[in-house]
Amino acid sequence: MPLTLVSSQRLFEGWQKRYRHQAQSTACDMTFSIYLPPQTAQGKKVPVLYWLSGLTCSDENFSTKAGAQRVAAELGMALVIPDTSPRGDAVADDAAYDLGQGAGFYLNATQEPWRAHFRMYDYIVRELPELIEAHFPVTEQRAISGHSMGGHGALTIGLKNPERYTSISAFSPICNPCSCPWGEKAFAAYLGEARQEWEQYDATLLLEKLGVALPIKISQGSEDSFLKEQLKPEALLAVAKRVEVEVDYQLCEGYDHSYYFISTYIEAHLRFHHQHLLAS
Ligand SMILES: N[C@@H](CCC(=O)N[C@@H](CS)C(=O)NCC(=O)O)C(=O)O
């Protein structure tokens, strides 16, 4: 599995790098970004935080806007930031921002024209960590976080694979995609009309079914324009209470859905993951 280096920059005594590689699960070239903290230059292996971005993003939004690298350098954590979907001329797409390229929803599509390439669940859970652990000085300790569609990805992937992650966190996650317009549209397209197929990718329904007790932290802006119609944290929190799973939920007064919000709270999320990675 060869990697092609796309770019490399020095940052907080570590390195921000971008790579391209041919992915088996998505059957196309994929690009990801990685921040390697200074400890790796001293030959030390470090744990990894996987960050899943939201609709319309690539691997570059978080790398350039969240400001996470300073604290990652201090804590000695690598940051791995994949793209949000397969891409390319041979990959199906849709004119809307919330379907197709840039909107992979971290699932394995079963429907035409999506199923050949839209297999982001397999890519994130298996293929990418295997690649990262084979090529970089990292341990097998992993944490997972994300924003909006990526918050949905972090929650569902973490809940379904608790043995693979120490902790889950999310900013403004789509908590109950089976019951919101973004989720209903994407799941109908990628998974078909049978709603029982959708349940395997819905954090609220998964928490109810699996009751996984991994540490979970969620931050949500009170002025997020998507909060009421799309994100539905109240559905997840009600289930968490019912199944007695503790969720560290913070409603952040006055913040919206943007990377200004993420950059304000990313330090708290990195320290949360670091504490659980240390204990693992
Ligand atoms: N109305 C927005 C919806 C998409 C959106 O807000 N995307 C969020 C994630 S759900 C994002 O992170 N955008 C990229 C950025 O802010 O850098 C658009 O059309 O771009």
Task: Please pick, among 33, 53, 148, 167, the residue that the annotation labels catalytic.
Answer: 148
As a whole-number percent, the residues of the chain with pLDDT over 70 amount to 100
54 Cβ below 6 A of ligand 1: yes
Distance 54 CA to ligand 1 centre (A): 7
Mutation choice for ligand 1 from 220, 257, 264, CB with most ligand atoms inside 8 A: 257
Residue nearest to atom 20 of ligand 1 (CA): 56
Q: Tokens for 242?
A: 């019912």
Q: pLDDT value at position 271?
A: 98
| Three-state secondary-structure class, residue 141 | strand
Q: Is 33 an active-site residue?
A: no
Question: What is the band of 1 on the pLDDT scale with cuts at 50, 70, 90?
Answer: confident
Q: Would you state the torsion angle of the CA atoms of residues 24, 152, 206, 242, taken in this order, to the nearest 10 degrees? A: 160
User: With b meaning 16 or more CB within 10 Å and e meaning fewer, what string describes 250-276?
Assistant: eebeebbbebebbebbbbebbebbbeb
Q: pLDDT value at position 7?
A: 98
**Angle 205-180-161 (CA atoms, 0-180°, nearest 5)?**
35
pLDDT, one tens digit per residue, over 150-200 is: 999 999 999 999 999 999 999 999 999 999 999 999 999 999 999 999 999
User: With b meaning 16 or more CB within 10 Å and e meaning fewer, what string describes 126-155?
Assistant: ebbbebbeeebbbeebbbbbbbbbbbbbbb
Atom of ligand 1 minimally distant from the CA of 57? 14
In the chain, the amino acid numbered 273 is H
* Average of per-residue pLDDT values in the chain: 97
pLDDT, one tens digit per residue, over 38-89 is: 999 988 999 999 999 999 999 999 999 999 999 999 999 999 999 999 999 9
Distance 269 CA to ligand 1 centre (A): 20
Residue nearest to atom 1 of ligand 1 (CA): 97
Atom of ligand 1 minimally distant from the CA of 54? 9
Residue nearest to atom 17 of ligand 1 (CA): 61
pLDDT, one tens digit per residue, over 194-219 is: 999 999 999 999 999 998 879 999 99
Q: Is 122 an active-site residue?
A: no
Q: pLDDT value at position 207?
A: 97
Mutation choice for ligand 1 from 56, 97, 175, CB with most ligand atoms inside 8 A: 56
> In sequence order, what E strands does the chain have?
4-11, 14-23, 28-36, 46-52, 78-82, 138-147, 168-171, 216-221, 247-252
CA dist., res. 205 & res. 237, Å (int) = 11
As a whole-number percent, the residues of the chain with pLDDT over 90 amount to 96
Atom of ligand 1 minimally distant from the CA of 97? 19
Q: Tokens for 212?
A: 């996984």
Residues 6+ apart with CB under 8 A from 209: 199
Atom of ligand 1 minimally distant from the CA of 148? 10
247 Cβ below 6 A of ligand 1: no
Atom of ligand 1 minimally distant from the CA of 149? 10
55 Cβ below 6 A of ligand 1: yes
Q: Tokens for 263?
A: 């950059």
